[in-house]
A and B are shown apart, each in its own frame.
Chain A
Amino acid sequence: MKPTTTPDTVSVAQAFSTEAANPPWKLPPPLFNARCRACWFTAALLVLVVASFVSLELDWAAFASMEAARSMGRFVAEFFPPDLSPVFVNKVAWAAWETLAMSALGTVIAAVLGLALAVPASRMSAQDSAWLRSPTRWLLNALRAIPELVWAALLLISAGLGPMAGTLALALHTSGVLGRLFAEAMENIPTGPGDALRTQGVGSLRVFFYATLPQVLPQLMSYTLYRWENNIRAAAVLGVVGAGGLGQLLSFHMGLFHMNKTATILAAMLLMVACVDALSFAARRWLTR
């Protein structure tokens, strides 16, 4: 900053110069300081981003050229008009129902399995040795780490093509997620009711059913409904590897370049996701009102 010659500003600059964090006669702080954690973090981030773009050999020319724009335009134009013949719409509606059923059944199985796994994965009382706690948590983490689509591809080998593989895949992944959430919910409830029963000599099964479960049930329900919402979205695309529902129909017709039919299926998928979003938004608003 260069001091101006106006007497007014000079006096102001002198008045402030002693307190200013960065007095004008000093240089600005160096851009990189080895003791500054944020600097290191930003540098690492930049290196990561640049390395990613460089190493991926992205095909910008194919995407940003006129040729690509034209082929994209042709591709989109082929979608119209969507195939709305009653036979096909019926087929899409059945596939949508299949998707919905897959997600619902998968979530129910996951809730039961998750509850069964959450009991050994949580320490119910101070006396509980909970020796199964960490192995069960490892199992839950492994179930959770593998995405639904990978589970579906694995299960196709033993369950064959069709919605059952998709349902089981959703159930396995979701039981990992729900089991962990349930276990945390059970460990965080007040221990009073359970202790009261235990001191009266009630067995651990009855303590679970009459003290633990009633306390966590609302939370369990809300977690399960939340996962169901996610699973509807996941079930729509699971079929891409052949596990039933709208996705299977989509990959089948897209593979055969039936673009009009693909457009109908995509529209059905979007409609379904939008309905689920709107319903869950309304339900949330209604519940928190």
Chain B
Amino acid sequence: MSVAAPHSSADRPSGLPPVRPHTQAPARDPAFAGRVFWLGLALVLLWPLCVATEFRLWVLWEPENRKVTANFLRSFWPLVHNPEFLEMVVRETWRTVAMATAGVTLALVLAVPLSLLATRVLSLSALSGRMDRWPAVMRWCVRATLIVLRSIPELIWALVFVRVVGLGPTAGVLAIALTYGGMLGKVYAEILESGESHATQTLMRNGSGRLQAFVYALLPSHAAELASYTVYRWECAIRSSVVLGFVGAGGLGQQLDNSMKMFNGGEVATLLLVFIALVALADRVSAWLRKALA
């Protein structure tokens, strides 16, 4: 990639290559061969991936599939907008939001105590050098629990809970509560450990309890960050509560799944539009709240 250098360079430091007038600039890319080689290699490496995923795009163009797709897409218009359907959509939309809110609330109930247990800043023995063995082991165990809770996707939790408590929003709320409890707890602990811990340590050195040190020193200095992360996760929970409907946890997702199974394009289109609007609204609200909190 050689770009023609400017001509006027009387004060050019020595040691640089001689100035080449741009009339002599190479007509084609000097690194052409190398680029083609790497591109070819990448394509060769992509081949096994295409085999593994049965990636045959021409399947989409087979006449039968094309007809099904075209029919489905054509049925998107007109949107279904009779009053009963719209009333159901509004009810299910509220249900989706409520599921996310209740899930995040329960997740907080789980995450706050666990993050207090996991954070290293609130350790009394660590004030004098190294933390004792048992507190360290306990903190490590709590952290491992949080990581396990968060690394199982909420959809899998929902599948499990649908088996245990039956179809309905309870399974969805519990799934969100467990996954988000893990996520919030882990990130809360990290946020509390980041930044200045001087005030907390001073309080604890002077004999205040750990909870007092948390409430009067650690929490005020990290409150904005904690709150804004919670709001962000609430926004994510709205998105995932729609997805949870697909395994039978109620809400917009379940209606979307039903309409898709019945090939009712008009309903699918209405639900998708409502869903996009809901996500955009949650995005706006969360951005506004986070700005207000900062």
Interface residues in chain A, defined as those with a beta carbon under 8 Å from any beta carbon in chain B? 37, 48-49, 51-53, 55-60, 62-63, 68, 71-72, 75, 97-98, 101-102, 104-105, 108, 141-142, 145-147, 149-150, 153-154, 157-160, 162-164, 166-167, 193, 196-197, 200, 210, 214, 233, 236-237, 240-241, 244, 250-251, 254, 266, 269-270, 273-274, 277
The contact size tier of chain B is 35 or more
A154, B263: Cα distance in complex, Å? 10
- Kindly identify which residue among A145, A210, A233 contacts B3, using a CB–CB cutoff of 8 Å: A210
A237, B253: Cα distance in complex, Å? 15
The prevalent SS among residues of B at the interface is helix
Interface residues in chain B, defined as those with a beta carbon under 8 Å from any beta carbon in chain A? 1, 3-4, 22, 46, 48-50, 52-57, 59-60, 65, 68-69, 72, 94-95, 97-99, 101-102, 105, 148, 151-153, 155-156, 159-160, 163-166, 168-170, 173-174, 239-240, 242-243, 246-247, 253, 256-257, 260, 263, 268, 272, 275-276, 279-280, 292
A33, B214: Cα distance in complex, Å? 27
Contact A250 B165 (CB under 8 A): no
A30, B257: Cα distance in complex, Å? 49
A58 to chain B, nearest CB (A): 5
> CB-CB < 8 A to B57: which residues of A?
164
A122, B280: Cα distance in complex, Å? 21
Contact B163 A75 (CB under 8 A): yes
Report the nearest B residue to A247, measured CB to CB.
Answer: B155
- Kindly identify which residue among B22, B54, B174 contacts A162, using a CB–CB cutoff of 8 Å: B54
**Total A-B Cβ pairs within 8 A:** 159
Report the nearest A residue to B279, measured CB to CB.
Answer: A145
A37, B289: Cα distance in complex, Å? 12
Contact A210 B1 (CB under 8 A): yes
A233, B65: Cα distance in complex, Å? 29
- Kindly identify which residue among A104, A142, A197 contacts B49, using a CB–CB cutoff of 8 Å: A104
Contact B242 A150 (CB under 8 A): yes
Most interface-central of A48, A62, A101, A142 (chain B CB within 10 A): A101
Report the nearest B residue to A254, measured CB to CB.
Answer: B159
- Kindly identify which residue among A62, A108, A233 contacts B46, using a CB–CB cutoff of 8 Å: A108
Contact B279 A164 (CB under 8 A): no
A52 to chain B, nearest CB (A): 4
Contact A145 B53 (CB under 8 A): no
Decide yes or no: A105 and B243 within 8 Å by CB, A164-B56, A237-B155, A250-B156 being known contacts. no
Contact A196 B3 (CB under 8 A): yes
> CB-CB < 8 A to A49: which residues of B?
101-102, 105
A158, B50: Cα distance in complex, Å? 18
> CB-CB < 8 A to B163: which residues of A?
75, 254
Contact B156 A149 (CB under 8 A): no
